[in-house]
Amino acid sequence: MLELVGSNQSPWTQKARWALEACSVECVFTPYIPTLSELALRRRLGQWRGPVHVPVLFEGKRAIAGATEIAVEASSRAHGRLGDFVAAAPWLALSDSALAEGRARVLATYLGDDEAQREQVPSFVPDSMRGSLRFLARDAIRRVERKYAASVTPGALVDALDRTRAGLADTASDYLLGSFSYADIAMATVLEVVCPIAVSHPPQGPRTTAAWTVPALIERYGDLLSWRERLVRATQPSFLQRR
């Protein structure tokens, strides 16, 4: 059985899960908790230096790291179900850039919100202790923020959404490449940093959900949110359903 290690909140993990499910590739999902899970992941990867990232797909001792790399593997097991990855490459770059800016906004929001920090404390911690352990969540948030600071391009999110709208208009369909592909998954997942619908276990707290939500962009890109809903209905990813 394949095992996917990833973060419940990470759109990159969500892209990998959607790709795997779209290709009917079964796997066990193992949640990754920043800082707490890092040593175990390093041990499994045999990587003791440099940053480690999720998602990672394990097949025995074989490890495939990165959402796109996992999607390529999934598609290869499903006779090319996710389309032409060369043609999708510009969309995948747009997706990564947009999500990097969105993640930076979310992390900054967490750091300014004590209750959001409390909600980031691992779920196995008793509720009575979560407030006093906010400093652990705050430290983990700052680590992630520093880890990815260089990847942030201001304006990337709006640019990606505008290009997605234009790309869909060009094809006059619900598919950026004319038929369903990983490009559609990548760009639909960008909307998770605008209006999140992914279900996580345990459920996200209200302040966490608020940090991922941008009301002004929800109003501006309602057509793209409707497009995402249609993709979700068509492909039925189990973890990406409206709450």
pLDDT for 201 equals 73
pLDDT for 240 equals 61
Mean pLDDT, 10 residues at a time, the chain of 243 residues: 92 96 95 89 94 95 97 98 98 98 97 93 82 87 91 97 98 97 98 91 86 97 97 84 39
pTM of the model: 0.94
> DSSP of the chain, one letter per residue?
-EEEEE-TT-HHHHHHHHHHHHTT--EEEEE--TTTTHHHHHHHHT--SS---S-EEEETTEEEESHHHHHHHHHHTTTSTT--HHHHHHHHHHHHHHHHHHHHHHHHHHHT-HHHHHHHS-TTS-HHHHTTTHHHHHHHHHHHHHHHGGG--TTHHHHHHHHHHHHHHHHTSS-TTSS--HHHHHHHHHGGGTS--B--SSPPPHHHHHHT--HHHHHHTHHHHHHHHHHHHHH--TTB---
